[in-house]
Structures are given as C-alpha cells and as structure tokens.
Amino acid sequence: MSVAPDPALVAGLDSWRSMQARQQPAWPDAAAVEQVSRELSALPPLVFAGEADVLTARLAAAGRGEAFLLQGGDCAETFAEATADNIRNKIKTILQMAVVLTYGASLPVIKMGRMAGQYAKPRSSDDETRDGVTLPAYRGDAVNAHAFTPQERIPDPRRLLDAYHRSSATLNLIRAFTTGGFADLRRVHEWNRGFLANKAYAQYEATAEQIDRAIRFMAACGADFDALRTVEFFSSHEALLLDYERALTRIDSRTGTAYDCSAHFLWIGERTRQLDGAHVDFLSRVRNPIGVKLGPTTSADDALALMDKLNPSDVPGRLTFITRMGAGRIREALPQLVEKVTASGRPVTWVCDPMHGNTITSDSGYKTRRLADVLDEVRGFFEVHRAVGSVPGGLHVELTGDDVTEVLGGSEEIDDAGLALRYETLVDPRLNHQQSLEMAFQVAEMIRQG
C-alpha cells in the first residue's frame, strides 16, 4: 500500500525557486526549461529510494569507523566519453582501489562513483575569453558544449534530457558490471590486465596473489563464496542544476517522503552551500544521504548550522562533510571544525577531498595538481581526526581509469612537460589509473596506522 505524501512536503520541494540559486546557467528560454522539466518528471527514476536508504546505513557505519567510503570519478563526465571502455576502466580502478583499501586496512569499503550524472560544473567565472573573444564558460555537458563557438556555448536545456539518458545508460552498465560477475573478487587479477607493468601494478599483483591464496584456502575449507560475486556500487554527483534535480525528485510510495532519484548520493558544492541559498533548501527536503563540501574558510558555526538545517533529526549517515582545505591549510583549518562538531555529539561522516584545495597552474599553463600535495592533504586529514578523536570516514577523488597525464608526480614522475602528452580533462585534472592505485596503497597504510 502506498503512503500519501504530506501536501506541505510536496509544495516545499519548490521553495528553492524563490531563493538565490548560484551557479545556474543563463538559460535563454525559460519556457524551454519548463518543457524539459515536464519531460524529465515523466521519465522513470534512475535509482530506487530503498537503495538510497541502504547507502545511508553504510555511511553511518563509515561515520563510526566501521567502514570507509571511496568516492571517485571524473571531474566532469562528458557525453562523448560515456562509452563502455571508459565506464569499465573507471569501475575497474575503483574496484582495484577498494581491494587495496579493504585488504590493507581490514575495513569494508563503500564504493561510490562520481558517475552516471556528474555532468554539471560550477565555475569561477561566468565567461571565458580567448584571443579577445568572450563567450559563456563551459558548465558541463548538461548545459553547453566545450567547443569555443558562440553557438556551442549557449546553454541548451535539451541537454538535461541527454544527461538523463547518458546517466541511465551508464548506470545500467554499472549495474551489469557490478552484479553480473565482472566484479567477482575471484577476478581480482583480471582487473589489472591491459595495464602496463610498473611499480603500482606490481604491488597490486602481490596483493591480488595474497587475496587469491586466502580465497583458495577458504574454498578448500568449504566456504560459500556467493557473496563475492557482486558488489554494491552507488552513484553520486553534485546537485547543482536545480531544475534537473527537482524534476528527478519523486515521492517514495513506501514512506510518502521525497527522494532525489537522479543518484543515490548528492552533494552541495563549496560555491553553493549558503545556509539561506536554494541548494541547501532543496537538499534539506529530500531523504537521500547527502554531502556538503567544506573549504578552508568554513567556520565551526557554519558547519553546525548546516547540520541543523540538513539533518535536524540527527539521522546517522544522512550528512557527510567533505572537507577540501588544501594541503597547506588542512592542519590549521580543520581542527576547529572537527572539534566543535564532535563536541556537539551529533552524527556526521567526515570525508576528505584532497583534490579541490590543491589546484595550481603549471609553468606551461596547465591547470594541475601535485600528487604529493594530494597525499599530504589526506595525511593531514588523518592526523587531525586522530588528534581530535573523531573518525576519518572516507576519500573523495577525481580520477579516471585511463592513462592520462593531468596530475604531476607519482612513480611515473609526470612533470610539467609530461602534462601535454595526454591532458584530456575539460575542467579539473584527474589522477590517472596508476596514480589512483598508488594513492590507495598509501591511504590503506594511513588507515592501518590508526
């Protein structure tokens, strides 16, 4: 039997429309946006509310130190790259990192992609100028195209429908890979095939061999391995384009409450987390587990006020704070936040995004990051939580399963000249497959030390 929603709850889902919504595209035609919203509202949800509830329970465990979140994927997914090869390589990378973390740290790892919906980006500037020509900035494939022509840069709401369909196809393949046998832990070696031999892969092979031996031993003892065949894999993206998120929000017939069914987990970005802003209001009204990015200027009072607004009933796992302070600032900026939030005794899951506070421009002009800074921020995150007695609950990273050259350093020693070889991202630099594995080994060690 379905539960009827409270009419006030349904009306509240549109209250963001009278608030300031930052980082929205300047859509040229409001009627076209309304038409697309109607079409999206009539399409099936991408996820089931019950799956979001399972994730809330998993994130609650991460908040208590009984699990660890690994959230990773592109800075910005693109329509052109929503291919089987790309999706498979990203999943393989996340599965491999998860194996390294699970084995190294003896903790269950919650696997979540910045995938199947990460098609919109907040930007520092509304415009981009090249050779004296100024056009609207690229805001992700859900909004406009990257090509630098006046026509391509005009925000087009029909792209929201494309974003929905690409997300749907991506999620379909993710579900096939993660439940159809590809993610079976007994294939742990095969996820490494096709990558060139190097230090991180050799280290991975050694771990995989140990896991294999343990599995063979348990099999010989008569253990039942059905549970190893499938893995839980959750989708997530920044809930930036409120017309899209609203249209994908549905009333759960089991409970009469609202879920944003565009993904299992949605987060609010550093640029849109104003307490009286539209994004915070909208996500306060859906029941998914949600995150908020917190940059180095966040005060403890900001964090506490966000908890009041976004998780007034103190549901464990509902609210994740994703801190992105920068390696140079985390040790001074994070303690005051963590101390006060911890002293409140209220549940929050703390996750480290070591990417967004460490962006630099290289001498040759590439937007990049140093792997050393990224790892140093993760180290600082663990140090602060250990000192305060709180729980470092996870990692949020921009990565790809491919062999790109966007982040400096790592055992391949990518330098400024090397960036030009395969710099493919349209917005922010991502760890490549090897750098991602290197990071997993180091983070497993950090967890183990605790």
Ligand X SMILES: O=C[C@H](O)[C@H](O)COP(=O)(O)O
Ligand Y SMILES: C=C(OP(=O)(O)O)C(=O)O
- Compose the 352-371 pattern: x for residues touching ligand Y by CB under 6 A, - for all others: ----x---------------
Minimum Å gap between C-beta 67 and ligand X is 26
Handedness of CA 235, 428, 350, 200 (dihedral sign): positive
SS (H, E, C) 327-368: CCCHHHHHHHHHHHHHHHCCCCEEEECCCCCCCEECCCCCEE
Measured distance CA(185)–CA(213) in Å, rounded: 12
Q: Is 373 in the site for ligand Y (CB under 6 A)?
A: no
Q: Does 428 bind ligand X (CB under 6 A)?
A: yes
What residues pair up with 399 in beta bridges, in sequence order?
Answer: 431
Instruction: Cite the annotated binding site for phosphoenolpyruvate by residue number.
Output: 114, 270-271, 293, 324
Report the relative pairing of strands 68-73 and 367-368 from DSSP bridges.
unpaired
Residues in binding contact with ligand X, number by CB under 6 A: 8
Nearest Cα neighbor of 320 from 234, 405, 427 is: 234
d(CA 145, CA 154): 8
**Site membership for ligand X, residue 295 (CB under 6 A):** no
CA–CA gap between residue 309 and residue 285 (Å, rounded): 10
Phi, psi of 50 (to 5 degrees): -60, -35
Q: Among 25, 155, 269, 410, which residue sits at the site for ligand Y (rule: CB under 6 A)? A: 269
C-beta of 327 vs 446, nearer to ligand X: 327
Residue 277 binds to ligand X (criterion: CB under 6 A): no
Smaller CB separation from ligand X, 313 or 361 = 361
CB of 309 vs ligand X, minimal distance in Å? 23
- Encoded one letter per residue, x for contact with ligand Y by CB under 6 A and - for no contact, window 129-168 reads ----------------------------------------
* SS3 call for 213: helix
122 in contact with ligand Y (CB under 6 A):
yes
Helix (H, G, I), strand (E, B) or coil at 293: strand
Binding part of the chain for ligand Y, among 160-168, 264-272, 283-291, 411-419 by CB under 6 A, reads 264-272
Question: Can you give the length of the chain in residues?
Answer: 450
> Please, what is the minimum distance in Å from the beta carbon of residue 123 to ligand X?
4
Query: Does residue number 325 form part of the binding site for ligand X (CB under 6 A)?
Result: no
The interface partner of residue 123, options being ligand Y, ligand X, none and the CB cut-off 5 to 8 Å by kind, is ligand X
| Site for ligand X, residues 109 to 128, rule: CB under 6 A | 121-124
- Give the containing element (helix H, strand E) for 32: helix 30-42
Q: Please, what is the minimum distance in Å from the beta carbon of residue 322 to ligand Y?
A: 7
Determine which helix (DSSP H) or strand (DSSP E) holds 290, and give its type and residue range. strand 290-294
CA separation for the pair 33, 236 (Å, rounded)? 23
Alpha helix stretches (DSSP H) within 64-187: 84-105, 150-153, 158-179
Looking at 156, 270, 377, 412, which residue binds ligand Y (CB under 6 A)?
A: 270
75 binds ligand X (CB under 6 A): yes
Residues of span 278-297 touching ligand Y by CB under 6 A:
293
Q: How far is the CB of 85 from ligand X (least distance, A)?
A: 24
- Choose among ligand X, ligand Y, none what residue 430 binds, the Cβ cut-off being 5 to 8 Å by kind: none
| 348 scored as a contact of ligand X (CB under 6 A) | no
* 427 lines the binding site for ligand X (CB under 6 A): yes
394 part of the interface to ligand Y, by CB under 6 A = no
CA atoms within 13 A on the CB side of 241: 31
Q: Does 237 participate in binding ligand X (rule CB under 6 A)?
A: no
Whose CA is closest to 228, among 212, 252, 204?
212
Judge whether 311 and 319 are in contact, CB under 8 Å: yes
Supply the minimum distance, in Å, between the C-beta of residue 441 and ligand X.
25
**DSSP H/E element including 6:** none
Strand 360-361 and strand 133-136: pairing?
unpaired
Which residue, 252 or 428, is less far from ligand X as judged by CB? 428
Q: Which residues bind ligand X (CB under 6 A)?
A: 75, 121-124, 356, 427-428
